[in-house]
Amino acid sequence: MPTEPSLTPAVFAAANPAAGESASSPIRDYLSTRSSGRFADSSFAALMLLCACSIFAIVAFIFWILTVRSHLSLVQFGWKFFSRSAWDPVSGDFGALPFIYGTLATSFLALLMAVPLALGVAVFVTELCPKPLRAPISFLTELLAAIPSVVYGLWGVFVLVPLMRDVVGPFLSKTLGWTGFFSGANFGVGLLTAGIILAIMILPIISSLTRDIMLAVPNSQREGVLALGATRWEMIRVGVLRNSRIGIVGAIMLGLGRALGETMAVTMVIGNHPNISRSLFAPANTLASVIAGEFTEATGDLYLSALIEIGLALFLVTIVVNAIARLMVWAVTRGAPVGAA
């Protein structure tokens, strides 16, 4: 019966590069005859494939559970559920429009405040910042993303809410109250306060991704623009920002995805009232905050089903927004040429 070759010193010596081109053949022959090695490779590959497929299975399972548990609301209200403004658990009349409005309003306010600041940080770090300061600034910016949302909420309750109620709110009401966006009672909580909290939370996401996208722009782009006599600002605007625009939009959409789904911090500072108001001082609710605030109080089947349907809508919207954003970032950093239209 043939036996497997043993790993003798001669075999190891043959693996020495100085032994010549055929030196590695004994080890290669030994490994190729080991059936256990081939079995281990195939088993490992199958296990890794199973791990990858489990991600799709988890997403599909979550979608299935949300769909099944929201079936009663889907049948009762249909698509009109998203255009109805009533939310009355006592009479069993439900509509998600106030929460859609609150989600869109707070997310828009967050982007309005976070995007300019994030772009400024990214441009400074990649193009203007002295090298010794780049790492500390990048670290501090990314550190904001590691802070738990409940900590942001506590800071908002004890610092931002009193500041909005006693200082910022009266000033905005006095100077811009005629617009209607800063009128009415100001209790410190509301759409504007939630938007500020969200802006702080999505700032590191947009800034970090924008910085990486700008670093992906070839230096030849910068050198070419400068060689044509452009100033440093013109080089940044034409050579960097213009060629990074698709990726920057993707980074902004990733920040939007985070803002749409943020729950705890928003719940603590938005006021939690199903209201549609022009005033940014008015208490409101978002798709995520109404689930967090009322899920434990949902006693009836229809009430619980309506909340789960809101969760289903939030789940689908978040997946779509994040998928589009990831594709746009990938198109710049790995796929299509930088700046491709």
Residue-range domain boundaries for the chain: 1-33, 74-333
* 3 state SS of 42: helix
| pLDDT (0 to 100) of residue 35 | 56
Identify the CA nearest to 203 among candidates 248, 142, 150, 246: 142
The fold of the 74-333 domain, in CATH, is MetI-like fold (1.10.3720)
> How many helices (H) and strands (E) are present in the chain, helices listed first?
16, 2
DSSP structure string for 226-274: HHTT--HHHIIIIIIIGGGHHHHHHHHHHHHHHHHH--HHHHHHSB---
Cα separation of 314 and 66, whole Å? 11
DSSP structure string for 174-216: HHHGGGSTT-S---S-SHHHHHHHHHHHHHHHHHHHHHHHHHT
Residue 93 is inside which H or E element, if any?
A: strand 93-94
Identify the CA nearest to 127 among candidates 239, 224, 227: 239
| pLDDT (0 to 100) of residue 340 | 43
| pLDDT (0 to 100) of residue 161 | 95
Q: pTM, whole model, 2 decimals? A: 0.80
Helices 287-294/97-123 angle, 10° precision: 120
Asked whether the beta carbons of 305 and 72 are under 8 A apart, the reply is yes
The rounded average pLDDT for each run of 10 residues, N- to C-terminus, in the chain (341 residues) is 50 50 59 62 85 92 94 90 89 91 94 95 91 88 89 95 93 90 90 95 93 88 86 88 87 90 92 90 93 87 93 92 83 53 39
**What are the Cα distances from residue 177, in Å, to 102, 161, 192?**
20, 19, 14
SS3 for 299-333 is CCHHHHHHHHHHHHHHHHHHHHHHHHHHHHHHHHH
